[in-house]
Amino acid sequence: MDKMYQDKVVMITGAASGFGAMAAKRFAAQGAKLGLSDINEVALRDVVVGLESDGVEVVSDVVNVAEEAQVAQHVAHISQRFGGIDVGINNAGIGHDVRPLQFLTTDDFDVMMNVNAKGVFLCMKYQIPLMQQAGVGAILNVASAAGLVGAAHLSLYAAAKHAVVGLTKAAADENATRGIRVNALCPSFSATPMVDEMAEVVGTRTGLNREDTLKQIASRVPMRRVSEPEEVVQAMLWINAPENSFMTGQAIAIDGGLTAV
């Protein structure tokens, strides 16, 4: 029996760690060829070496998604090697210091918007023409539960992720008759390096240890835990599956009920 993504070309940004690294492994296990990028060259190389040792076909580039020339070159590299892109998972993103809005800076604002919002825009800008030529494609932009509701002390992150949801809905509308589906994934807190780093910062500031800080974070979620990355990546596989052919323009929360209350 063919695998779900047999011979499909899947582009994943932010592929060196967290959701991106796990997604690379899971899509590869389902038969995909991969186009991977990250700004962290060493960590990306480790992921690629592991995949190639298992016989996975991979194109990889060190990319800052906020730089248009780098994104354009990466998309062209994938297309030249594999002939196009079937699925684009625009996952690269960063957080900022956990502080009230008035203590953040214009530099913080610019960095958040450049990486988390402009990065998604640039990826779609170069993915969509390839998919239009093919007459089919699926794009999944990784936003956040913070892109659906307010996020105290994470205002700029929330603003950028709201922008991702807006870009997603507009691109979905523009391409609904072109065979291209565009959706956003909105996870809440998950056991990823980004959340670990946030727990470390908050813990240092409040005097709590990392474990107690993570418990405090989890207490805000109705299910009283953070997600496992596997739970989020499983949603990526389902949302982009060819069989899921009538879903577009959606912001899907994988959040333990956080945005339901």
Average pLDDT over the chain, rounded to an integer: 93
What is d(CA 221, CA 210) in angstroms, rounded to the nearest whole number? 18
What's the average model confidence in pLDDT over 182-210?
72
What's the average model confidence in pLDDT over 205-226?
75
The catalytic residue positions are: 157
Single-letter amino acid code for the residue at 251: A
Please choose, from the candidates 27, 25, 74, the residue with its C-alpha nearest in 3D space to the C-alpha of residue 46: 25
By the 8 A CB rule, do 90 and 123 touch? yes
pLDDT digits (tens, 9 = 90+) for 31-86: 999 999 999 999 999 999 999 999 999 999 999 999 999 999 999 999 999 999 99
pLDDT digits (tens, 9 = 90+) for 74-120: 999 999 999 999 999 999 999 998 899 999 999 999 999 999 999 99
pLDDT digits (tens, 9 = 90+) for 239-252: 999 999 999 999 99
pLDDT digits (tens, 9 = 90+) for 146-185: 999 989 999 999 999 999 999 999 999 999 999 999 999 9
> Domain limits of the chain?
9-188+228-253, 189-226
Per-range mean pLDDT, top range of 128-132, 149-153, 207-211: 128-132
Q: What is the pLDDT of residue 228?
A: 86
User: In the CATH hierarchy, which top-level class contains the domain 9-188+228-253?
Assistant: alpha beta
Contacts (Cβ under 8 Å, ≥6 apart) of 185:
140, 141, 142, 143, 232, 235, 236, 239, 252, 254
Q: What is the pLDDT of residue 2?
A: 80
Contacts (Cβ under 8 Å, ≥6 apart) of 162:
143, 146, 147, 148
